[in-house]
Amino acid sequence: MNVRRHSIFLVEDDEATRASLVRKIEAATPGLQVAIAASGCKEILQALEKTRPDVLLVDLGLPDGDGIEVIREVARRWPRVLMMVITVFGDEARVVGAIKAGATGYLLKDDAAEGIGAAIGLLLQGGAPISPGIARHLIRQLRPTAELPASSIVVKLSPRELDVLTLASKGYSYAETATLLGLSSSTIGSYTKTIYEKLAVGSRSEAVFEATRLGLIDDAAE
């Protein structure tokens, strides 16, 4: 039986993450092929001038511009291209901005690493893949009386836990965080477990997202 091939374009500035996503996408589902893996806005827009993919995956923090602007431009010029965000942060402004610009899906990078193939498949079938942490946040926004507002929720992280979480928000691995803080990887793992428990989350991306929402860390870096 012939499998229909779907062309995927990806824009992600981190080389290791980009290579990992390409491998996972092509190994996940027969018929998915990453035709272009770009590192910035200019490169991906130049590629789109020549040919269009079925799906465009967009990181938001790019070295030469904002991924939301890429989404907006593609939606305006090539509205049949399906677009999904893959990023570290899920704060309200970025989520709403990306969806308004034309994105149909929004994945935090931890979730993308685990289920990128399934998410692309859902997108191609007309669905809107969204990370659980993002979905919970949107539900909270739609049901403000269901929970206490973020400003009234008190979560206390120690200075060292904040250091670990801040480095995670900047994309550092456990090993890199351990080196920068002069600690062992197992100690970083212990701090991370405690952070998850305090924030009631299950992944680094969700921890960064929740801490940003609560104002515990800055959201300036992606």
Confidence of residue 222 (pLDDT cuts 50, 70, 90): very low
184 compared with 218, residue with greater pLDDT: 184
User: Does residue 57 contact residue 10 with C-beta atoms inside 8 Å?
Assistant: yes
Distance CA 164, CA 45 (A): 36
User: What's the whole-number average pLDDT of the chain?
Assistant: 85
The pLDDT, as a whole number, for residue 153 is 55
Q: Tell me which amino acid residue 204 is.
A: R
Q: How far apart are the first and last CA of the chain?
A: 42
Distance CA 219, CA 91 (A): 8
Per-residue pLDDT at 212 exceeds 90: no
69 compared with 204, residue with greater pLDDT: 69
Per-residue pLDDT at 112 exceeds 90: no
Q: What share of the chain is helix, strand, coil (3-state, %, to 5)?
A: 55, 15, 30
Per-residue pLDDT at 89 exceeds 60: yes
Say yes or no: domain 6-142 is CATH 1.20.58.100: no
| DSSP H or E stretch at residue 164 | helix 159-169
Distance CA 98, CA 106 (A): 8
User: Does residue 157 contact residue 166 with C-beta atoms inside 8 Å?
Assistant: no
Ranges of CATH 3.40.50.2300 domains, the chain: 6-142
69 compared with 199, residue with greater pLDDT: 69
Ranges of CATH 1.10.10.10 domains, the chain: 150-213
Determine if the pTM surpasses 0.75.
Answer: no
Between the alpha carbon of residue 120 and those of residues 1, 65, 141, the distances in Å are 21, 24, 26
Confidence of residue 74 (pLDDT cuts 50, 70, 90): very high
- Looking at domain 150-213, which CATH architecture does it have? Orthogonal Bundle (1.10)
Among all chains, which residue has been given the structure tokens 């800055």?
218
Region 110-130: what's the mean pLDDT? 87
Read off the pLDDT of residues 123-167 as tens digits, 9 standing for 90 and up. Answer: 999 999 988 877 776 766 665 544 545 444 578 899 999 999 988
- The alpha carbons of the chain give a radius of gyration, in whole angstroms, of 18
